[in-house]
Amino acid sequence: MADEEDDIILSELDDEELSEQMQDDLYDGLKEEIEEGVNIFLERGWAPYDILTKVLVKGMKTVGDDFRDGILFVPEVLLAANAMKAGMAILRPLLTETGAPKMGKMVVGTVKGDIHDIGKNLVGMMMEGAGFEVIDLGINTDVDQFLAAIEEHKPDILGMSALLTTTMTYMKVVIETLKEKGIRDELIVIVGGAPLNEEFGEAIGADAYCRDAAVAVDTAKRLISQQQA
Amino acid sequence: MNKLQKLLKEKGTLLADGATGTNLIPMGLDSGQAPEAWNFDHVDRIQKLHQSFIDAGSDIVVTNSFGGTARRLHLHDLQDRVVEINRAAAEIAGDLVAKSGREIVVAGSVGPTGDLLAPLGELTYAGAVEAFEEQMTGLKEGGADVAWIETMSSPDEIDAAIEAANKVGLDYVATASFDTAGNTMMGLSPAAFAQQMAGKNPRPQAFGSNCGVGASDLLVAAIDMVANADGLPVVAKANAGIPKIAGDKVVYSGSPELMADYVKLAMNLGVSIIGGCCGNSPEHVKAMAEAMRAHNGGDAPTAEEIIETLGPLVSPKSSKKSDRSNRRRRRG
């Protein structure tokens, strides 16, 4: 909306106002404003980890909740995630330097025969937004590619996505192979995609079915903390 | 006059067919394989599927070309055979229709590209039009009566497919999937979609909904579509419930009896073209045909009555309000 309220000068806001405004701007997918806000906080001497968790992750939580609750849809969430990504691009090298704690690591991919990656990409971005390290194997991922990535990256979580009724059964193939190799129990396996449901996830031996990216984040956090407990 | 329009005038309500993908799996389609390749490799199986729907009483047969754009066929290294694949899809259905001695519409299935359109994704609007145009050229050459644009979620992509149909000179039907809180995943509501379709020039032969998350959700969405249809015929092609794993097989929870109830409710709502999507076998379609024949009127059901008969909504509309609804500035 082009009205006088567009004239918000981020640098003139105090820390609390700026944090609130940035969460609004994240909600609206305003990428440049997020970059500006991150830089202002850095200049004010905030720790990169605090900017990530107290501003960006908190803001993305609202986006995720509203996505889960049917208030926001894919286009708005993608814009928000892109703004988040822009902020993360500034913070990531600094986080590595400062050795900030990580939530966990996830390998994610759309299964063999399937090119659909909108939901999978959202999961990747929202997981990054929640502080996870994400290794994205892309589309059309076969069981060998999943195995190689697990071997190389030693993730805590494996995420699989499928949009087609003709591809979703491939998830079972992957899980069965993990069992044969004796590594199924070393991983949390979460699955998602439009034709799936909870019962389906259970029947193929996944730890959880996640209806959308927001639920994926919540589920990943819950299962990781259960594992650590 | 288009054959679809003519049949609608004669019969009032038309019976479409059932699923393609989920019916090909028991015939040997492996997980991840392109169903469209069977238009060459296993013509007999595609014929068998179409014939079973024709025998069940379908007035419309949807071709085996759902993933038939170059953008999707690329994965199976079939991107250079787009026109050929789609032509074959329409011809296989057309030959059986000719032999049936009945008036049956050959509906050329056109599914989404699988890509997000710019600015959200890489695919430009012009690129999407081009991809659909190539597919529809094949469908038209093969004798399709209409382009059956289905399982759509993005208003832009629907526009692109319609523009392609107009360029190729094919009449069209467009259906969307309302699987996310009563809307498409891109946030398109049934009412907004109906208004988009009613405002088109030329207008669709029909519009409506297919697939999604079950028969209840689809018919509740149909209430808003019928209310905003401005005289356009409305399509309903619902899944037979939800998928479950039984051993190595995927089975759908909805029985033929449930789909027969769905037909009655859809007819009472004023839906003119009724069929099934994922999980609907020829047996389901047969039950739907009988329900259609036996139907003798009734009041339009409310959402509550639909749910009472067909089961709870899988993804109901939200009544929640955002924590961030009092934002000082918003995306323009």
Residue A206: CATH number of its domain: 3.40.50.280
CA dihedral over B50, A167, B260, B253, signed as positive or negative = positive
Other beta carbons within 10 angstroms of residue B102's beta carbon come to 11
Average pLDDT rounded to a whole number, residues A70-75: 93
The verdict on residue B305 lying in a domain is yes
Residues A127, A209, single domain; the answer is yes
CB contacts of A76 in chain B (<8 Å) are 187, 331
Q: Which of A98, A118, A151 is the last residue of a domain?
A: A98
Q: Are B226 and B302 in contact (CB under 8 A)?
A: no
Please indicate, yes or no, if residue A51 is contained in any of the structural domains.
yes
Residue ranges making up the domain that contains B165: 3-310
- Name the domain count of chain B: 1
Pair A186, A207 in one domain: yes
B180 in A contact zone (CB under 8 Å): yes
- Residue B25, domain member (yes or no): yes
CATH code of B48's domain: 3.20.20.330
* 8 Å CB contact between A138 and A117: yes
- DSSP secondary structure letters along A139-180: SSB-HHHHHHHHHHH--SEEEEE---TTTTTHHHHHHHHHHH
Q: What is the pLDDT of residues B298-327, one digit of tens each?
A: 999 999 999 999 999 999 998 888 888 888
Would you state the structure tokens that stand for residue B132, as one six-digit string? Answer: 């659909």
pLDDT of residue A125: 87
**Calpha distance B81→B86 (Å, rounded):** 9
pLDDT for B220 equals 98
Same-domain check for residues A164 and A221: yes
DSSP annotation of B123: B
CB–CB contact B31 A167 (8 Å): yes
Is B318 among the domain residues? no
User: Would residue B227 count as lying in a domain?
Assistant: yes
| Residues B129/B165, Cβ–Cβ less than 8 Å | no
Tell me the per-residue pLDDT of B100-127, one tens digit each, with 9 for 90 and over: 999 999 999 999 999 999 999 999 999 9
Same domain, A168 and A117: yes
Q: Is residue B99 part of a domain?
A: yes
Residues A58, A125, single domain; the answer is: no
Q: For all residues of chain B together, what is the average pLDDT?
A: 95
**Which domain-ending residue is among A77, A98, A119?**
A98
Q: Are residues A90 and A114 in the same domain?
A: no
Which residues of B are known binding-site members for Zn(2+)?
211, 277-278
* Domain assignment of residue A213, yes or no: yes
| B187, part of any domain | yes
Number of other residues whose CB lies within 10 A of the CB of residue B320:
12
CATH of residue A23: 1.10.1240.10
- Domain for residue A54, yes or no? yes
Enumerate the residues of chain A whose CB falls inside 8 A of the CB of residue B121: 118
Kindly report, residue by residue over B90-99, the tens digit of the pLDDT: 999 999 999 9
Nearest-angstrom CA–CA distance, B196 and B211: 20
Which two tokens mark B22? Answer: 């989920």
Residue finishing a domain among A98, A121, A146: A98
Q: Does residue A141 sit in the same domain as residue A44? A: no
- Residue A3 domain-assigned (yes or no): no
Residue A6 lies in a domain: no
Q: Which residue has the higher pLDDT, B305 or A99?
A: B305
| pLDDT score recorded for residue B330 | 63
pLDDT at A1: 44
What is the β-pairing status of strands A188-192 and A105-110? unpaired
Confidence of residue A118 (pLDDT cuts 50, 70, 90): confident
Same domain? A146 vs A200: yes
B253 dihedral zone (left: phi>0; alpha: psi -120 to 50; beta): alpha
Domain membership of residue B293 (yes or no) is: yes
Mean pLDDT of B134-156: 98
> Residue type at A114?
D
Say what the pLDDT of residue A6 is: 61
Interface mutation vs chain A, best among B157, B245, B278, B319, most A CBs within 10 Å:
B245
Q: Is the pLDDT of residue A2 over 50?
A: no
Tell me what the mean pLDDT of segment B160-189 comes to. 97
Interface of B with A in 109-168 (CB under 8 A): 114, 116, 120-121
Q: Which residues of B are annotated as a binding site?
A: 211, 277-278
Task: Encode burial over A180-206: b for 16+ CB neighbours within 10 A, e otherwise.
Answer: eeeebeebbbbbbbbbbbeebbebbbb
Mark which residues 40-99 of A lie under 8 Å from B by CB.
62, 65-66, 69-76, 78-79
The beta strands (E) that lie in chain B are given as 14-15, 60-62, 105-110, 146-152, 171-176, 206-210, 234-238, 243-246, 249-252, 273-276
Residue at B321 is within a domain:
no
What is the span of the domain harbouring residue A134? 105-228
The one-character DSSP state at B35 is G
Mean pLDDT, to the nearest integer, of B220-244?
Answer: 96
Express as a percent the part of chain A with pLDDT over 90.
Answer: 74
Q: State whether A134 and A197 are in the same domain.
A: yes
With H, G, I as helix, E, B as strand and everything else as coil, classify residue A44: coil
| Count of structural domains, chain A | 2
Say whether both A117 and A170 belong to one domain. yes
Same domain, A115 and A179: yes
Same domain, A143 and A213: yes
Single pTM value for the model: 0.91
